[in-house]
Amino acid sequence: MWGSTPLYIGEIFSVVVRDLAGARKWYEERLGMRLSSEKVEDDSGLSGIALQFGRSGETIWLLQSDSEIAGDPDGGVRPMLYAKNLRKAREWILARGIRVDEMQQDSGGNEFFVFRDLDGNGIEVCREG
């Protein structure tokens, strides 16, 4: 829809959402992800689906929950995506109407930014290291 994504997944992570169907649509339309055939087996007992970029092997698990942990923008460690060109990835995400925070640096000097999904979950994007 908007060309290939500048993002990739370094390792499997999960995001807790309130509306699984709505979140799936958001991730597919906004980030260009597609449904994976991978079976989601989460210890929490939450139902979910796996999404991936293109034919990449790593996936994001969307897990559905009605609890307050869904959509908690400050809930623990943020999931992380990677990009070869961080500024290009940020512009690509902004062009899709996604809320994106300013570029930041951690104490080690690594640059990153955070965007928010449909539920307000923060997802960090950093340069591949």
Q: Domain holding 37: CATH number? A: 3.10.180.10
Residue 39 lies in a domain: yes
pLDDT at 118: 92
In a domain, 58, yes or no: yes
In the beta sheet, which residues pair with residue 90?
none
Q: For tokens 């923060």, what's the residue?
A: 122
The chain-wide mean pLDDT, for the chain, equals 86
In a domain, 44, yes or no: yes
- Residue 26's CB is within 10 A of a number of other CB atoms, namely 18
CB-based contact 27:98 (threshold 8 Å): no
pLDDT at 76 over 90: no
Enter the pTM of the model.
Answer: 0.85
Does a structural domain hold residue 62?
A: yes
In a domain, 2, yes or no: no
Predicted confidence at residue 68, as pLDDT, reads 60
Name the residue range of residue 39's domain: 7-127
DSSP 95: T
Instruction: Give domain status of residue 1, yes or no.
Output: no
Q: Structurally, how many domains does the chain consist of?
A: 1
